[in-house]
Structure 1
């Protein structure tokens, strides 16, 4: 008999989990690389990423309301498109978001102790895996605290930057490279993708038909407002060229705005934001792992649910172990690029599944599917090739397992 997860989350906690996943990567990690790719096209890139994210959020919310079970697009793809597409979505999610977890853990290490970034990253993974193991409510509470602190830091950066910024430094009258804008949009989309954590918690929210469609657009809207405010204020102070060259743009903006006293708070906020993202990411990957294990695509022990805490404890421990290994050995830039490709494939399948729901869903689903495809292949070629290779390996594994099952008596 399949064990059910405990339904304990309301709209507020679901929104906070989504915010904790979204706010970490984009604000503190993706603005610099995105400005490097897009130059003066950073703001159009942000708008492009937001449009694609909105389409995906709408598709995810409507599908999650129809299928309120853990697993996200893995569940939706199976139900609407067939077993293979559900499997491919789950594979892309687990692999891509495992890389995201490692990237966020490495971000924590880079801000807190750059000389020992890998060791700090591993310690962060172990600590947050332990938090998730104790139950999703404790994870939601900790995420709520982190989000509040990070928002306070971001508000301070926007305030001091607005007071010292010069609009003419934005440089919006320069040439905008289309390819660079699309690549930057792909990088910024990596930061928006946290709303999937809400959909993957479908089996743990109260009244999912009402909670999920409300929580997804609220979380996405708040994140877009925060991203736009921070991007505009930092551009006003630094200008596009200096922002593109900055490894810590928010800290540099605080210095340029004459507020060096704010730099330690920004550093702490960056670490907290990355921790919040890591917390929610581990939560979401473990739930998709649970769903795939229930269906026989991953080892059966990963489907176990803890009798006391009501969480998929074997899946959480396995995900934590893999992320710790990747965080100990990987490069953060490579992890982000690889993750972005996997996430865009995942949402492409979500939009294809939403297309089958009916005529009302098709315009946004078509736009979302097209956007995911364009942004995925606009990413750096190394990330595209690695992503295609891993998806191909997953497809081969699916075919082999299917062939073995058919030969069994």
Structure 2
């Protein structure tokens, strides 16, 4: 399903430019989408408050279901390399209604988080150049954040190659800053140059079984869902990546491993250098790294850590737009959303309408929420865990159903395509239910606000899912039988499972090989 004209690149069934990026680019985008420096800075204080020196163990426990779901993404992408990922796969297995909701959840995560990331990038840009007054100005930060959203949206429209090139540059800023900080901090701990609050690292810090209670572990894992989320952006670019049936999924899997190592090394260094008592003061403050940087690195090297947070948030601002826009493109081409969202730019070969729409809606949400309350913006981030756990769990279930006839053919199939994705889905499903219940308590929210006695994180998370359900019904009763008439419960073709042929998605949403 390729098309090309003289002087024009080859395009796939949806009009996206084929082979626009390679494996390394996909890997970089997968890592950058998680915003590792910012994500860790935002949650490390909260995790230490609950788990103490066992914070690294919490991150290891959080990694396990993510790695298992990454395996599900790998195998599902190998069978169906569709830029809609969860939407396409769940539609095939659990039916069009559940598939639509999975696609909606992916799209809404982009809308909810883009503004928050741009906000951090804007604030840290001001701090980097020493403009403290602007960093403390609410409307100054909002104005610059809106500019950054517009800029990153434009980069996404210009082309996937431009997006990948920008990410290659930005990834070095955050990785170098984090690793330099971690190495120097650990050296100072072992040489006795750390503060009096420092503690010597221990292997027991890495054991989830050493955590005092199951409740503490689950609370920490709820937070961990947020900091590992985003690696699947590499898979959303599958139709634009070389070796689309293998490279994007593999990039997603390796991204989770890179994140695990980065998070564990950095967390051990921070806990050891500062000590649990000091870190607890940063339970709701992402400024932990910038505060410690001056002590660990001194001036001017401490600016590298500020640069790491800045580039982390900025990179994720751009890459988070990608999966949302590709998902809406896939949904539009399958007649699950308005056809205009499936348009491809004639020059850049990107879904420009979907991309611009995501940028505009994310901007409106961010400005509206920020103007109302900065704490409300933090509640939005908390609500993300609900959306993430929802569509990740659906993907794990879809993998097991799609490959159900292949599971008994080998021990490898049973473990990696059956057991692992199922465990990941069950764990994340449990966390989704627990988060919904826990976040319903207004005391768990940053703002302390409630709607009909229900905390804002649950109201936002479940509210957006209910909004999607209503919109889905409106679209269904407006016609569109080609999509909603699909039966689901498809099983992978043995030849596709073996990698001999590739299943492709046509514009009506019917699979063929």
Q: TM-score, normalised by structure 2?
A: 0.75
SS of the residue aligned with 2:478? helix
Indicate whether 1:14 and 2:70 are aligned. Answer: no
> 2:123 aligns to what?
110
Q: Which runs of 5+ in 1 are unaligned?
A: none
- Which of 29, 42, 52 is the equivalent residue of 1:29? 42
> 2:319 aligns to what?
280
CA contact (8 A) 2:335 2:480 kept: no
CA drift of 1:46 comes to 0.4
**Which range moves more in the overlay, 41-50 or 80-89?**
41-50
Q: Which runs of 5+ in 2 are unaligned?
A: 2-12, 127-134, 190-197, 408-413, 441-454, 482-513
CA contact (8 A) 2:201 2:268 kept: no
Indicate whether 1:5 and 2:16 are aligned. Answer: yes
CA drift of 1:24 comes to 4.5
The 5-angstrom pairing of residues 18-167 of structure 1 reads 18-22=30-34, 23-113=36-126, 114=135, 115=137, 116-165=140-189, 166-167=198-199
> 2:498 aligns to what?
none
SS of the residue aligned with 1:261? coil
SS of the residue aligned with 1:306? coil
1:251-283 C-alpha deviation (Å, 9 max, x unpaired): 233234363533322112111110111111011
Query: Which 4+ runs in 1 deviate beyond 4 A?
Result: 169-175
**Which range moves more in the overlay, 293-302 or 166-175?**
166-175
CA drift of 1:218 comes to 1.6
**For residues 369 and 274 of structure 1, what CA distance do their matches in structure 2 show?**
28
- Which of 383, 387, 391 is the equivalent residue of 2:465? 391
CA contact (8 A) 1:161 1:253 kept: no
- Which of 191, 195, 205 is the equivalent residue of 2:241? 205
Structure 1 residues 337 and 39 mapped into 2: Cα distance closer, same or farther (>3 Å)?
same
CA drift of 1:203 comes to 1.1
Structure 1 residues 225 and 175 mapped into 2: Cα distance closer, same or farther (>3 Å)?
closer
1:86-136 C-alpha deviation (Å, 9 max, x unpaired): 111111111122212122112212323432222221111011111111100
> 2:502 aligns to what?
none
CA drift of 1:290 comes to 0.9
1:173-194 C-alpha deviation (Å, 9 max, x unpaired): 9974533332222222212112
Indicate whether 1:293 and 2:293 are aligned. Answer: no
**For residues 259 and 350 of structure 2, what CA distance do their matches in structure 1 show?**
28
**For residues 474 and 304 of structure 2, what CA distance do their matches in structure 1 show?**
52
Indicate whether 1:354 and 2:399 are aligned. Answer: yes
Indicate whether 1:311 and 2:313 are aligned. Answer: no
Indicate whether 1:321 and 2:360 are aligned. Answer: yes
Structure 1 residues 283 and 253 mapped into 2: Cα distance closer, same or farther (>3 Å)?
same
CA contact (8 A) 2:211 2:217 kept: no
CA drift of 1:329 comes to 2.9
**For residues 120 and 406 of structure 1, what CA distance do their matches in structure 2 show?**
41
Structure 1 residues 205 and 377 mapped into 2: Cα distance closer, same or farther (>3 Å)?
same
> 2:251 aligns to what?
215
Q: Tell me which structure has the larger Cα radius of gyration.
A: 2
**Which range moves more in the overlay, 10-19 or 328-337?**
328-337
The 5-angstrom pairing of residues 231-380 of structure 1 reads 231-246=267-282, 247=285, 248-257=287-296, 259-330=298-369, 331=374, 332-356=377-401, 357-358=403-404, 359=407, 360=414, 361-379=417-435, 380=439
CA contact (8 A) 1:108 1:117 kept: no
CA drift of 1:241 comes to 2.8
Return the structure number with greater relative CO, CA threshold 8 A, min gap 6. 1
**For residues 402 and 146 of structure 1, what CA distance do their matches in structure 2 show?**
42
Indicate whether 1:403 and 2:459 are aligned. Answer: no
Over the aligned positions, Cα root-mean-square deviation in angstroms equals 2.4
Q: TM-score, normalised by structure 1?
A: 0.93
CA drift of 1:396 comes to 2.6
Structure 1 residues 395 and 224 mapped into 2: Cα distance closer, same or farther (>3 Å)?
same
